Structure 1
Amino acid sequence: MNAILILMLILFILMSLLGGKTGVVSFFTLFLNFIILFITLLFIVFGAPIYIMCFVFSLLIAAVNLFLLNGVNIKTVAAFIASIFTTLLMLAAIYFSVHTGHLQGFTPEEQDETYVYSLNIGINMTQFMIFTVILAVIAAVIDLAITISSPVYELHVTNPTLTRKQLFVSGMRVGREILATSANTIYLAFLGGSLTLLFWFFNLDYRLEHLINTKLFTQEIITIALGGIAIAICIPITAFMTATLLTRQNNN
């Protein structure tokens, strides 16, 4: 039994003990997310429009991680709508960043590793880079959306007389508390994955201005920035959507 199987077994045991049925479902949801991503990539490889597959992928990932884990209720519906709406709002910024930053295609470092293979893989690399950034953005947005909608929902259950404005303000307060933490999570996750390469750059005596202008470094920084922007935008959208759906339910 190798290290991967041992770690997965430990993860399954801990999630089962601490999360019960929800923990078990969460564990298998990890594999379901991978299957969805794998099938999406297969469709892209076989010529499916990348933008359409990107939209379908976003819908499926949001639905699986919200409805499958937390059920279909007002807080998950609000988080789902907020996640998709935020992702759609970010499309223009992502498209602009990829084009102006010339982020598409392989970096020189990746080309050094794959120079013996053909780089003509038959995929629009600009569109595929946009899909890659959206993949990172929607994961952070989904997590933030449910984190905001859940306490607002519980607050409404505790005090159903609260108005939409009061619920919205409460959601914004929760969002402000976790904004810095969520942004740091994105920053550490992406930068940590490239830490070895950064050490390599320093060992090669790269100047700071050269490092900042490398394509690989630019991809990471722009992805981090876009993820942070998406999180900031998602906070008021989720708070407003949750407050609106909850007060509308009261009126009905």
Structure 2
Amino acid sequence: MATAVEFKHEVLLLMGSGHSHGHTGHSEPTPQAMAARRKANRILAAVLIPLTLLTLAAMAALWPSGSKEGLTLANPYNAAPGVTFDTGRIQRVVTESCTAAASQAPQQGTQGAQQEGQSDGGSQCTFAFTEPDKGGNPVKVVINPDVAKSHGVDVGDSIRYLNLTNAQGAAAAGPNGPAANGAPAYIFVDFVRTMPIILLAALYALVVVAVARWRGLRALIGLVGAYFVLVSFMLPGLVEGKPPLLLALVGSTVIMIGVLYFAHGFSARTSTALLGTIFGLGITALLAAWATDAANLAGVGSHDAATLANISGNISISGIILCGLIISGLGVLNDVTITQSSAVWELYELAPATSARKLFTSAMRIGRDHIASTVYTIAFAYAGAALPILIIVMLYDRPLGEALTSAELSEEVIRTLVGSIGLVLAIPVTTLIAVLVVKATGIRAGGQPAVTPDDVEDTGALAAAAAVAGERTAAGGASGQPAETRRGRRAAQSG
């Protein structure tokens, strides 16, 4: 019974209820503890406030004008006069001879399914009879060969297609017929993915809010803010030729400041994680700047890079790659720093009398496990994104070393290495800052830790308390008897 009572008091303490062990009851921070706490918070504020103001000033100085003067990129979705982009739902899919289909009206193609699969010796084309969303009779849409071969189209799919019936030079085409030159009047453009994406986004938001509650909702809102910074500041800045290293550092720092404080609240724990994140971000930026130049990452062989390089002289492909190397590691870096900071607080709350050296050593054991898992996370994430390139390189049958350093894979390899180094170095720095801060702000009368509701919102404290209780039971419980004595007594009773 005594063990249960003590365990209950321990759990209540970890939940921030103010209970203490034994018979001390409620304990208030001593004047010395309050002074130490204020001093630590002042130190954090003295570092973070000027850094935040400097970042915002740099953001204002680098803010792009938004002008697109001089850009000559043609929008593929700007249709020619008389051409429209329509949407519809597929009713039936057939495979016919391309030459025969071009010389007959779609009404003939709809007469029976016996024509499906017939061939006159020419190449075969896939056609989808599609009911337009705007109403009217089904139209015969020709499907691109690569889409038909790789994915295909099915009955019920929503597609977007070009309507050429009213295009200039196509006056001889009927409402459902081919153009005068025999070309198809309706050409597949893309699938309509609006509904699946909306459903997935709604499910994601529901799961996050259901599990993480208000903190999860704040994180989602913070993600929207991060997207705003990326779209309105970083991307236009790259187009206008702003310094990519400064652009990435300033934009990433603003994102991390907003996301961390908005999602996790204003506390010493969050400030500690932010300092560790900024340190890791700086290391990543320096390594990315060196690697981009040393490895000559110029985006050679990329169709998108070639397109950007040709539309404006202000756009630097190597600068875009540099900025991408920094941005790509933000999420994992934020994850390891906030987790490591929280681990230090949880460990200290369980054993407030632990010395700073032992606290750092214990937290780093957790950090080492986190390092191993996050390194795998980064590597596999980039490997999944580059899977088509990996398959192509494999089919080339090139030596492994040559393949990894090729233009196709070198960017992904360097991105993995740079991001991993930054997050690995951020872990001990974050741990050290957290230990110093928690030892300065966590002193209470009677040796109890100063626990705030924000610091113990996570359920990790309860799990840790249960682990302590389990260790007590294994060691002999609250009776203070050695485990060997209790086992011996049980053995004697069973004998």
Structure 2-normalised TM-score? Answer: 0.47
**CA 1:33 to 1:219, structure 2 compared with 1: closer, same or farther past 3 Å?**
same
Contact 2:382 2:412 in 1 (8 A): yes
Q: Which amino acid aligns with 1:183?
A: V
Give 1:194-213 correspondences, 5 Å limit: 194-203=386-395, 205-209=396-400, 210-213=402-405
Residue 336 (structure 2) aligned to one of 137, 144, 154: 144
Which residue does 2:236 correspond to in 1? 42
> Residue by residue, what CA displacement relative to the aligned partner does 1:31-52 show, whole Å, maximum 9, x if unpaired?
2222111122123323433333
Which structure's CA Rg is the greater one?
Answer: 2
Contact 2:223 2:259 in 1 (8 A): no
Which residue does 2:272 correspond to in 1? 78
> Residue by residue, what CA displacement relative to the aligned partner does 1:166-202 show, whole Å, maximum 9, x if unpaired?
2211221110111111000000111100102222333
**CA 1:70 to 1:116, structure 2 compared with 1: closer, same or farther past 3 Å?**
closer
More strand by share: 2
> Residue by residue, what CA displacement relative to the aligned partner does 1:123-153 show, whole Å, maximum 9, x if unpaired?
2333332221111233321110011110111
Q: Give me the whole-angstrom Cα distance separating, in 2, the residues matched to 1:77 and 1:129.
A: 30
Give 1:33-72 correspondences, 5 Å limit: 33-39=226-232, 40-72=234-266
> Residue by residue, what CA displacement relative to the aligned partner does 1:43-70 show, whole Å, maximum 9, x if unpaired?
3323433333222212112112311111
Which residue does 2:206 correspond to in 1? 13
For structure 1, which segment, 5-14 or 123-132, has the greater mean C-alpha deviation from structure 2 after superposition? 123-132
Residue 96 (structure 1) aligned to one of 290, 315, 335: 290
Give 1:177-196 correspondences, 5 Å limit: 177-196=369-388
Q: Which amino acid aligns with 1:179?
A: I
Q: CA deviation at 1:221?
A: 0.7
Which residue does 2:10 correspond to in 1? none
Residue 353 (structure 2) aligned to one of 157, 161, 186: 161
Q: Give me the whole-angstrom Cα distance separating, in 2, the residues matched to 1:111 and 1:19.
A: 41
Contact 1:66 1:76 in 2 (8 A): yes
> Residue by residue, what CA displacement relative to the aligned partner does 1:70-92 show, whole Å, maximum 9, x if unpaired?
11111111110011112223333
Contact 1:98 1:129 in 2 (8 A): yes
More helix by share: 1
Q: Give me the whole-angstrom Cα distance separating, in 2, the residues matched to 1:242 and 1:112.
A: 43
Structure 1-normalised TM-score? Answer: 0.88
Taking only the aligned residue pairs, the percentage that are identical comes to 21
Q: Give me the whole-angstrom Cα distance separating, in 2, the residues matched to 1:95 and 1:116.
A: 20
Q: Which amino acid aligns with 2:228?
A: I
Q: Which amino acid aligns with 2:296?
A: H
Contact 2:308 2:315 in 1 (8 A): no
Q: Which amino acid aligns with 1:26?
A: A
Q: Give me the whole-angstrom Cα distance separating, in 1, the residues matched to 2:425 and 2:309.
A: 41
Residue 440 (structure 2) aligned to one of 245, 248, 251: 248
Q: Give me the whole-angstrom Cα distance separating, in 2, the residues matched to 1:214 and 1:19.
A: 43
Q: Give me the whole-angstrom Cα distance separating, in 2, the residues matched to 1:217 and 1:19.
A: 37
**CA 1:112 to 1:123, structure 2 compared with 1: closer, same or farther past 3 Å?**
closer
Contact 2:281 2:326 in 1 (8 A): yes
Q: Which amino acid aligns with 1:11?
A: Y
**CA 1:243 to 1:107, structure 2 compared with 1: closer, same or farther past 3 Å?**
same
Q: CA deviation at 1:250?
A: 4.4
Higher relative contact order (CA 8 A, sep 6+): 1
Residue 326 (structure 2) aligned to one of 130, 134, 143: 134
Q: Which amino acid aligns with 1:74?
A: A
In structure 1, the gaps of 5 or more residues are none
Task: Find the residue that maps to 1:2 and give its secondary structure.
Answer: helix
Q: CA deviation at 1:26?
A: 2.0
Number of equivalences: 249
Contact 1:167 1:239 in 2 (8 A): no
Task: Find the residue that maps to 1:48 and give its secondary structure.
Answer: coil
For structure 1, which segment, 186-195 or 116-125, has the greater mean C-alpha deviation from structure 2 after superposition? 116-125
Q: Give me the whole-angstrom Cα distance separating, in 2, the residues matched to 1:113 and 1:135.
A: 18
CA RMSD of aligned residues (A): 2.4
